[in-house]
Amino acid sequence: MTGVDLTKEMLEKAGTRVLRHGWTNVDLLQEDASEFNFPIEADGIISTFMLSTMPEHEKIIEHAAQSLRPGGRLVILDVKEPLWPSWFFKISCRFFYQPYGTLYEHLRQKPWETMKRHFKSVTIREFYAGAVYMAAAEI
């Protein structure tokens, strides 16, 4: 299993978790996900709360689709622009994302639409009044 993150801090947190659980099959790499070469014939790729911060989400999804084996799955858990009043949405984004430097404009992206172009089946579920989604796709 390989974990990829651009930030040293997140990799340190992941490393602590790996040590705490005694996992020996986990490699952690500090790389930009938009430039990362996924392992060929991977069984699955999971993205958690990352694509909403990256304008290159289409490139990442395309790379994932090319790397997965037949029957392989991509699962994305992330935040998106909900159907809330715009003023409340902007305040929420500033509060939750300011430490990460994310602008709320990125939350208007629709990665699940890109998934539909590269995968044969895509299912989407929303949580927290539409602010969080999980999209699962199979090659």
Domain range list for the chain: 1-31, 34-138
Q: Model confidence over 16-69: pLDDT tens digits?
A: 999 999 999 999 999 998 899 898 999 999 999 888 878 889 999 999 999 999
CATH topology of domain 34-138: Rossmann fold (3.40.50)
Q: What is the DSSP letter of 31?
A: -
Model confidence at 74: pLDDT above 90 = yes
Distance between terminal CA atoms of the chain?
19
Assigned token pair, 48:
């958690």
Alpha carbon separation from 93 to 50, 67, 83 (Å, rounded) = 15, 33, 14
- Whole-structure pTM value: 0.82
User: Residue 95: its pLDDT value, please?
Assistant: 66
